[in-house]
Amino acid sequence: MKKVFFGSFLLLIFAGSSVYSQIGVGNGAGSMNRNDNEEIVNEFFKGIKKNEESNSIKGSPYLNEDFQIAMLDFPNYDPISAEVRYNIAKEEMQVKIDEDGYRVLHPGVVVKMNNRPFKMLGYRGEKKNLDLLGYFEFLTPDNGEGDLVLLNKHSITVRRGKAAAAMQKATPPKYISKDDLYLKFGASKPVMVERKTKKFLKQFPADHRNQVKGFMEENKLRSKDIADLKAIVNYYNANF
């Protein structure tokens, strides 16, 4: 049973449905405060020191610079809305509570911003030699039934600046953004989408590769296109 916190900022999901049967479901509005949600704040958040962000780097480390209302779904608690922004560079979901800044600590918390659900997952990076932990945006629903899911991994790195030289001005360090698409089969870790068709098909179970290949050829789909990948994922989940 989920614990229920009564307060003016508590939001409930649809009556008669599970609180979170599917990533990407649920709506709400309002703002979270500490007094009404003390136990949640203590369990799932950690304070952020003021002036912790660097202002010497050109650009922004955030998905959106400003805080915006988002829905937070917690394990064993009802969902609550709060002001959130995603610091991609630090892999942090930052939450404003009573004008103070906090970061989400628990990887099981799902954050839904502008109907875009994000969740922290373990994965193999681009070089596939390290286990990493980071937030993924769910581009197709996760129904919790072992479905194939298409994910987007936002990343931001810092490009080093250059010192002034003869006839050349100094340039400051700069944030560089990049998006990578991933596939997640059931409970397995996300794997980066292969852009070449032959390698892409090998990412599917051997028993289903020929059917997926036929579907792609019949509909002229490519693994480089997000809309095409969504169509492939929907086909796979409907048939296997």
- 167-207, pLDDT tens digit by residue? 788 888 999 999 999 999 999 999 999 999 999 999 999 99
Residue 106 to residue 104: CA distance in whole angstroms: 6
| pTM of this structure | 0.81
d(CA 95, CA 35): 15
pLDDT tens, position by position, 54-88 = 678 999 999 999 999 999 999 989 999 999 999 99
Residue 70, pLDDT score = 96
Strands 110-113 and 45-47: unpaired
